[in-house]
Amino acid sequence: MTDLTQISDLTHLTLTEALAKLNAREISSVELTRAYLERIERLEPSLNAFITVTADRALADAQAADQARANGDTSRPLLGIPVAIKDVLSTEGVETTCGSKILKGYTPIFSATLVKRLEAAGMVMVGKANMDEFAMGSSTENSAYAVTRNPFNLDRVPGGSSGGSAAAVAGRFALGAIGTDTGGSIRLPAAFCGVVGLKPSYGRVSRYGLIAFGSSLDQAGPITRTVEDAARMLGVIAGHDPRDATSMNVEVPDYLAHIGRDVKGLRVGVPKEYFIEGITPDVEAAVRAAIAKLESMGATIVPVSLPHTSYALPVYYIIAPAEASANLARFDGIRFGPRIDKGAMWQTYKATRGLFGPEVKRRIMLGTYALSAGYYDAYYGKAQQVRTLIKQDFEQAFEQVDVIAAPVAPTTAFKIGSKTTDPLSMYLEDVFTLPASLAGVPGMSVPCGFDDDGMPIGLQLIAPAFREDVLIRVGSAYEAATEWHSRPLPEFATA
């Protein structure tokens, strides 16, 4: 077995550091992958970051990466890098469950476009990350398989729905991970787990092969330890895909060119609507200190208003469940999913869809009601109109500023089980992330502090549509000027 000291050394590298060592032939991808797989074997039972661990496939891919590098291949940007993939993305030959019993045993015959792009870039997939069922949740307590735990405190949630992806990165189970964000599901778990999470603009990354929750909202993006690592991964997965009608054919910039730039002259907007009653003092203090740090680095701080922010929560919980109701109708035991045969059609249909968990059922019912005759215009139609107003708020704000800085969530990671009986309280965790999702603009969470209990706090940066380069510039400059991203994890994660 590999020496545990060596495992610790390798699993504490950033993606960029590991890539440099691989290219310099100081380590091999097999050594790196084995270090992660042995750490997963030892610690995964305590964390539950994965639904499926693909150890044999990972080692085979690592061997292929080493052979490719020996043959002179140095151009692929993720060659030999261990990565976790959220279980909502189709992976050819590997079970894809969406965290639901209704897809248990489903093995896709194709891979999502972004998975193919990662594979072409040399990724080594170590497993499929746990998630809230069909991406519905803010804590990863809604998975049908296990509750993922926060590496900073095993009694706390990692956030959701990409909690498995964030816990895998924070827990040193992978150098990077892919999550998806419908209303905050990359940024929230990244903030709760003390890592970087980047939600791209809607249309920046292909949704082909991403099993849909809310089709006008879902967007995949990277979760990593540093902003530079996120830039590397985003550069691989971004770009137009003719198989996805929502994919935009816009130029993908060189994101790495924005690493190391300063923020002098940039205008940073601070929305008053994001500092409201309910935000904890620790979170507000950390975020305001981060904004002051950006000012000390040469940025200009500009107060802005996003007046329709308070409507984002009710708008989202009409639009997203409505789209979920339509998207999940196919899982009926006839077209997709297992069949629980009860003889008669309606009884079979009811029994089969009973495999959905309570949160999924709740949202399907909400969405079906909002779309029903007599209520469509009053609820869904009106919500879409207000969504336009939220989008216009951002457009007007970005006429004054280059980027917006705000909290990711009103609290830090809460205790497992503390909100499961109060759905509204759970929904409120996304109150600061929902507006950017509804507007389709990019957002990123960057570590900016810790509360009195030692739980991470995230700074949310929001930029105009398709200006992820601005997020990377500001995020990397802030990261370079602080040490929050490099604080050691607790004993659990370093054992």
Residue pair 271/306 in contact by the 8 Å Cβ criterion: yes
Q: Which residue has the tokens 């993908």?
A: 252
Q: Left, alpha or beta for 40 (phi > 0: left; psi -120 to 50: alpha)?
A: alpha
Segment 396-405 shows an average pLDDT of 98
pLDDT of 489 strictly over 90: no
Element of type H or E holding 52: strand 50-53
Distance CA 65, CA 50 (A): 23
The predicted pLDDT at position 441 comes to 98
Work out the pLDDT band at 326, boundaries 50, 70, 90.
Answer: very high
pLDDT digits (tens, 9 = 90+) for 5-48: 555 689 999 999 999 999 999 999 999 999 999 999 999 999 99
Share of the chain above pLDDT 70, in %: 97
The predicted pLDDT at position 333 comes to 80
Catalytic-labelled residue, pool 29, 185, 325, 445 = 185
- Helix or strand or coil: residue 36? helix
Structure-model confidence comparison of residues 5 and 337, the more confident one: 337
The predicted pLDDT at position 7 comes to 57
481 is written with which tokens? 């000027």
Distance CA 136, CA 280 (A): 25
The predicted pLDDT at position 113 comes to 98
Residue pair 407/192 in contact by the 8 Å Cβ criterion: no
Work out the pLDDT band at 492, boundaries 50, 70, 90.
Answer: low
Segment 201-218 shows an average pLDDT of 98
Q: Which residue has the tokens 């917006």?
A: 404
Task: Count the neighbouring beta carbons within 10 Å of the beta carbon of residue 411.
Answer: 17
Task: Count the neighbouring beta carbons within 10 Å of the beta carbon of residue 31.
Answer: 18
Span of 1-10, 25-34, 137-146, 202-211 with lowest mean pLDDT: 1-10
The model carries a pTM of: 0.96
pLDDT digits (tens, 9 = 90+) for 256-269: 999 999 999 999 99
Active site residue 185: yes
pLDDT of 50 strictly over 70: yes
Mean of per-residue pLDDT scores for the chain: 95
Work out the pLDDT band at 344, boundaries 50, 70, 90.
Answer: confident
The predicted pLDDT at position 83 comes to 98
Amino acid at 130: N
Residue pair 200/179 in contact by the 8 Å Cβ criterion: no
Work out the pLDDT band at 486, boundaries 50, 70, 90.
Answer: confident
163 is written with which tokens? 């909690």
The predicted pLDDT at position 1 comes to 39
| DSSP codes of every residue in 10-60 | HHTS-HHHHHHHHHTTSS-HHHHHHHHHHHHHHHHHHH--EEEE-HHHHHH
- Helix or strand or coil: residue 156? strand
Catalytic-labelled residue, pool 28, 138, 139, 161 = 161
Segment 238-253 shows an average pLDDT of 98
Segment 435-447 shows an average pLDDT of 98
Segment 162-186 shows an average pLDDT of 98
The predicted pLDDT at position 2 comes to 44
Nearest-5° angle of CA 98, CA 104, CA 106? 85
Distance CA 302, CA 469 (A): 20
Nearest-5° angle of CA 474, CA 181, CA 489? 65
Segment 361-365 shows an average pLDDT of 96
pLDDT of 495 strictly over 50: no
Residue ranges and CATH numbers for the domains of the chain are 4-273+284-305+395-494 (3.90.1300.10)
Active site residue 486: no
Distance CA 242, CA 464 (A): 24
Segment 95-118 shows an average pLDDT of 97
Active site residue 86: yes
Catalytic-labelled residue, pool 28, 29, 86, 100 = 86
Segment 136-162 shows an average pLDDT of 97
Span of 301-315, 324-338, 444-458 with lowest mean pLDDT: 324-338
pLDDT digits (tens, 9 = 90+) for 275-291: 999 999 999 999 999 99
